[in-house]
Structure 1
C-alpha cells in the first residue's frame, strides 16, 4: 500500500519536527482532525515503515564512514585541516586560522597507523622521536629560566637518547 500525498507530507513534517499534531496541520489536515487523530496516523503501518526507513537513512548519513575517518586523520596529519583560534592583539581579539600543532598531527598519524596492522617499525620510532621532541618543546615553552641553560641541557640530553633509540 502506498502513502497518499497528504500522508507523505505528514510523515516528512513529523520527521523534521517530531510533533504529530503540528505535522498533520502542515500536511493539510484540519486542526480539529489533527488534534484528535494525529497519534492514530503514526500507528498506520505503511506510514510507520516510511518514517522508520527515512530515520534510518538520516542516521546512516550522520555516522562517519571508515574512509571518511581516515581521510580526516590524513588531512590533519598533513596540516591541511585548519582550526580557528582566538588570539589577543594590541587592538583586541582576533580569530585566526592555524594548522594543527605537531602533537595533534602526531596523534593523527598514530591513529592512521593503528588501522594498518603491518606498519613499519622505523615509522613508529620516528613518530616516538617526534612525539618526544614535541613534549620537550612544550615543556621548554612553559619553563622560564634566567639564562636558558636548563633547556639546552635537556634538549642535548634527549638527542643522545634519541640517537641510541634509532641505533637499536
Structure 2
C-alpha cells in the first residue's frame, strides 16, 4: 500500500467518507470522489480498513473474562457506584458498595458458569433465605422503631423461624 493509500484508509476509518478521505490523503479535489470509490474497491485497502475497524470494535465489547471479573468485583463489594442522597443540606453524591441483593445476583450469575453440586445448591438456597430474613428484619425494625426491643426481638425470631423452615421445606422438596 502506498503512503497516500494508507493515509486514505486511516482517514476513511475516522470519517467514513471516501471523498473527504481522498482529499485529506492528498488526492486532487477534482478526482477525489472517483479515487475514493476506486480505493474502496481495492482488496488490500478494503482488507486493511476492515481489519482496523474490527480491532476498534473488539475493544468496545466486553469479553467473557472481563465480564466475569466485573461480576466477581461486584460480588466481593469491590465495585462502588455513585448515588444521590438526600441530606438536611440538600442532595449530595456518595459512593456506595453494591447491596446484598446485587451481590447475590452477581454470585448467581458467576455460579451459572460453573457446575454446582446439589449440596452447593442447597447452601445457596439457605444463604438466599438468610438474606431474605435480614432484609425482613430491617424492614420490620424500621416499622417498629418506637416499640419495645423485646417485643421486636420476639417478632423477628418468629419471622426468622418461619422463613428458614419454609426455605428448608422447599429445598427438601426439590
39 and 153 in structure 1: CA distance in 2 versus 1, 3 angstrom threshold = farther
Q: Partner residue of 1:6? A: 4
Q: Distance in 2 between matches of 1:6 and 1:55?
A: 19
**3-state DSSP of counterpart to 2:41:** coil
Q: Distance in 2 between matches of 1:151 and 1:6?
A: 79
Which one is further off, 54-63 or 150-159?
150-159
TM-score, normalised to structure 2, is 0.76
Corresponding residue to 1:66 among 64, 67, 80: 64
Aligned to 1:132: 132
Whether the 8 Å contact between 2:8 and 2:22 is mirrored in structure 1 is yes
SS at match of 1:86: strand
Tell me the secondary structure at the aligned position of residue 53 of structure 1: helix
For the Cα contact (< 8 Å) 1:13–1:23, is it kept in 2? yes
- Matching residue of 2:40: 42
| Structure 1: runs of 5+ lacking an equivalent | none
CA gap 1:90/1:28 in 2 versus in 1, 3 angstroms: farther
Match in the other structure for 2:73: 75
Count of aligned pairs: 164
Equivalent in the alignment of 2:22? 24
Once structures 1 and 2 are overlaid, which stretch shifts more, 147-156 or 102-111? Answer: 147-156
C-alpha distance 117-44 of structure 1, shift in aligned 2 (>3 A): same
Contiguous gaps of at least 5 residues in structure 2: none
Across the aligned residues of Structure 1 and Structure 2, the Cα RMSD in angstroms comes to 3.0
Residue 160 (structure 2) aligns with: 159
| Cα distance in structure 1, aligned partners of 2:153 and 2:30 | 80
CA contact 2:129–2:164 (8 Å) conserved in 1: no
Structure 1 residue matching 2:84: 3-state secondary structure: strand
Contact between 2:8 and 2:21, CA under 8 Å: does it hold in 1?
yes
- SS of alignment partner, residue 62 of structure 2: coil
* Cα deviation 1:80-125 (Å, max 9, x = unaligned): 0011112233333322111011111110011011111125134312
TM-score, normalisation: structure 1: 0.79
1:105 to 94, 103, 106: 103
